[in-house]
Chains A and B, each alone.
Chain A
Amino acid sequence: MSQTSEEVQLKSFVLVQVGKRRVALAAESVVELVAPTKEQRIPHCTPWLSGVIVRRGRIVPVCDIGNLIGEETAPQDSFHLIAESQSRGECNWYAIPVAGECALLTPGSTLPAQDHADYVSAIVPLGEDRIEVLNFLKLIQQQEVRFQDSSQEVES
């Protein structure tokens, strides 16, 4: 039964432009797309976050996934895709800078993400392109592991 619901989830993706690449996120994890908003900086030590935006009375951390997947830093006037991730019972919102063009994809099939990075959960064929579906949670978790490792190195 859970497989059925998973299949339903995998049928919809949000296609976004991150740097020069087009990638997809599971539509299930996307809350909304926000017009360019002032990103505010606070001093912090979490390397994969660049700042925060205020959205509907919430403070949402900004995570430039372009930096994490080898693309250039997003320009200041980027749109923000608000995505949520569930981890250890926590539901966190992230603002992901993207170029304005986003599309909802409902592909007929997806391909397994063999020989791709761990954070790529599937491949969506789109014309002649092969779009990587990012597992945002995994991408963040990889950063957290690296961060914990480097923190421990500094402490020791």
Chain B
Amino acid sequence: MKIFPGQMREARQIGRTESVILFVVGSQVFAISASSIQEIRSIDSLSGVLQEVSQDKIDKVRHSLRRSGENHYIVNSCKHFGLPTSRPTLVLVLRGARVAVLADKIERMDTISLLLSLPRAFRGQERAWYRGLTLIDDEVVPVVRVSGFLTEKELSYLDRMFSAAASTKSGPASARNGSAEDTAGAVSP
């Protein structure tokens, strides 16, 4: 029996801190880089602004939101992470990805200095979902990867579906030149 194999160390980033926002979905806490959040909105403030995306291939997306002249597709994070259905109250609009994510609540902002790579034993979609894992108050918290919510292929598909629905409703309107943007009530992280 081995006492301690010293040759194995997990890949980690030390010495550089990163601000993260801890958000809750169901009973699970996730961390996301604060710099990757464009705005945080309450769902109530978006009534009348959300546009339905008629498609049945990507179950976790039902609506979109216009931001910076582009559609941000709203991902149901319970379905994305395979968690029991919860009651989301917030929408996190992400920067650098045409995605917005539903969350139940924001726990707090925090600073991390440690990002452990997801153990290679994990072989499923979680490899795309997470940048890694961090430890906050002795709890393991997944740090989500912004690009892990929707693939480029899924975004293209959603754009096509959105365009098709828009052109059916109002003639030649395209997904990228659609309705006016809503900017009221935004909360910057």
Interface residues of A (CB under 8 A from B): 12, 14, 27-28, 30-32, 40-46, 49, 52, 54, 57-61, 63, 84, 90-94, 104, 140, 144, 147, 151
Given contacts A42-B133, A43-B83, A59-B10, contact A92 B5 (CB under 8 A): no
Chain B residues closer than 8 Å to A30, beta-carbon distance: 1-2
In the complex, whether B59 has a CB less than 8 A from a CB of chain A is: no
| B1 close to A46 (CB less than 8 A) | no
Given contacts A14-B1, A31-B2, A54-B140, contact A45 B126 (CB under 8 A): yes
In the complex, whether B187 has a CB less than 8 A from a CB of chain A is: no
Given contacts A31-B5, A44-B126, contact A63 B133 (CB under 8 A): no
In the complex, whether B43 has a CB less than 8 A from a CB of chain A is: no
- Cα distance, A49 to B10, chains bound together (Å): 19
What is the chain B residue whose CB lies nearest that of A82?
B2
In the complex, whether B106 has a CB less than 8 A from a CB of chain A is: no
Instruction: Choose one: A32, A61, A93; the contact of B1 (CB below 8 Å).
Output: A32
Chain A residues closer than 8 Å to B116, beta-carbon distance: 58-59
| B124 close to A43 (CB less than 8 A) | no
Interface residues of B (CB under 8 A from A): 1-5, 7-8, 10, 28, 81-83, 116, 119-126, 129-130, 133, 135, 138-140, 142
Q: Is the interface of B mostly helix, strand, loop or mixed?
A: loop
CB distance from B142 to the nearest CB of A (A): 5
Most B CB contacts (10 A, CB to CB) among A54, A84, A147 go to A54
What is the chain B residue whose CB lies nearest that of A56?
B4
| B123 close to A46 (CB less than 8 A) | yes
CB distance from A87 to the nearest CB of B (A): 9
| B124 close to A46 (CB less than 8 A) | yes
CB distance from A40 to the nearest CB of B (A): 5
Kindly list 18 other residue pairs between chains A and B, CB separation below 8 angstroms, not including A45-B125, A49-B121.
A14-B1, A31-B4, A40-B140, A42-B130, A42-B142, A44-B124, A44-B126, A46-B121, A46-B122, A58-B10, A59-B10, A63-B121, A84-B2, A84-B8, A91-B7, A92-B119, A92-B121, A147-B124
